[in-house]
């Protein structure tokens, strides 16, 4: 027993300061691991408060009322957002999703409205009011100067939330319109362009004036370009009324949708005179929407080796 204690004492005397440091670190790590198993740690039991009790997925209608601009109404149908006013067009999905996300945005602080002066929070005359599903009214107020968070009133409660949504709500009305020129779930039955007309008759497309060697694949490719064409940007058109260079008939719709082709400052636009809006096109898209695609290039001819036993002399 005495020899055992002597050996331990000898080993301890041989350890230098670095060795003791390593041993101490190892013991500290083992202690942390032990605590992790014994005590799972403090959990944040505080419930997250959201701006409303609605779920974003349940939002089917959004009204955006703005004191300094036109009001906007968006409706969700068949998994697609549409603008029902001031235009009746497919909506910009990103903008609509951002507005509907307000339903579940985190509320950092809450105040009872009865204890505050609404004017101090710019809520006596809200610049923007949002109504979700005709149920919940959100009034947008001023900004907390310390954390740059926005005050939003929902009923009797004033919430302090992230300010990321505000400038999207203030955006131009045309930013709420989908960049896709032809509405989704729309079937074109007739397309009139300055130099050609395509008409769907008994399930087949007829081209006028008739052209030789125009395959059905080229026609379908051309129509597909129209069906999925995207603009670069959309803006209000306030110029003179222009002649409709292009007319598009949709299935089950008697009157065509008319567009004017306009070139301005080296840019090409499709103008809808009836709505007073213009779609800016890239040069590539503008070209694809005005003429049928070129025929596919013929396959490269390949030289097959002679099978008659004769070998061609080298040059």
The Cα–Cα gap between 56 and 73 comes to 17
The Cα–Cα gap between 182 and 110 comes to 44
Q: What is the pLDDT of residue 33?
A: 65
List, in order, residues 6 or more apart from 97 with CB less than 8 Å away: 81
Sheet with 257-264: list strands edge to edge: 204-208, 197-201, 188-192, 246-250, 257-264, 267-272, 277-281, 233-236
- Tokens (6 digits) for 230: 């995207």
Q: What is the pLDDT of residue 72?
A: 96
pLDDT along the chain (315 residues), means of 10: 56 58 65 59 67 95 93 94 95 95 95 91 94 96 93 96 90 94 92 94 90 87 94 93 91 91 91 94 94 76 51 43
Q: Which residues pair with 205 in a beta bridge?
A: 200
Q: What is the pLDDT of residue 168?
A: 87
Q: What is the pLDDT of residue 312?
A: 45
Residue pair 86/71 in contact by the 8 Å Cβ criterion: yes
Q: What is the pLDDT of residue 293?
A: 85
The Cα–Cα gap between 240 and 127 comes to 33
List, in order, residues 6 or more apart from 139 with CB less than 8 Å away: 123, 126, 128, 129, 152, 153, 154
Quickly list DSSP for 57-91. GG--EEEEEETTS--EEEEEETTEEEEEES--EEB
């Amino acid at each position: 027993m005495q020899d055992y204690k002597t050996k331990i004492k000898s080993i301890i005397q041989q350890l230098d300061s670095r060795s003791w440091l390593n041993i101490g670190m190892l013991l500290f790590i083992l202690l942390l691991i032990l605590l992790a198993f014994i005590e799972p740690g403090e959990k944040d039991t505080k419930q997250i408060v959201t701006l409303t009790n609605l779920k974003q997925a349940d939002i089917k209608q959004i009204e955006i009322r703005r004191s300094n601009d036109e009001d906007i109404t968006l409706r969700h149908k068949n998994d697609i957002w549409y603008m029902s006013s001031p235009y009746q067009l497919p909506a910009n999905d990103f903008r609509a999703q951002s507005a509907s996300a307000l339903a579940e945005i985190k509320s950092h602080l809450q105040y009872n409205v009865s204890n505050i002066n609404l004017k101090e929070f710019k809520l006596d005359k809200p610049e923007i009011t949002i109504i979700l599903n005709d149920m919940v009214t959100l009034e947008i107020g001023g900004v907390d100067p310390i954390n740059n968070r926005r005050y939003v009133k929902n009923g009797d409660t004033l919430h302090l939330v992230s300010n990321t949504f505000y400038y999207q709500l203030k955006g131009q009305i045309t930013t709420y319109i989908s960049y896709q020129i032809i509405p989704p779930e729309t079937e074109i039955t007739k397309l009139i362009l300055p130099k050609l007309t395509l008409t769907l008759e008994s399930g087949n497309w007829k081209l006028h004036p008739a052209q030789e060697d125009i395959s059905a694949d080229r026609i379908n490719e051309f129509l597909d370009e129209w069906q999925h064409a995207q603009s670069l940007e959309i803006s209000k058109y306030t110029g003179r009324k222009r002649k409709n260079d292009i007319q598009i008939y949709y299935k089950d719709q008697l009157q065509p949708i008319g567009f004017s082709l306009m070139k301005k400052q080296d840019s090409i636009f499709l103008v809808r005179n009836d709505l007073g809006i213009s779609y800016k096109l890239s040069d590539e898209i503008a070209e694809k929407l005005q003429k049928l695609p070129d025929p596919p290039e013929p396959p490269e001819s390949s030289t097959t080796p002679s099978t008659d036993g004769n070998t061609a002399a080298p040059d």
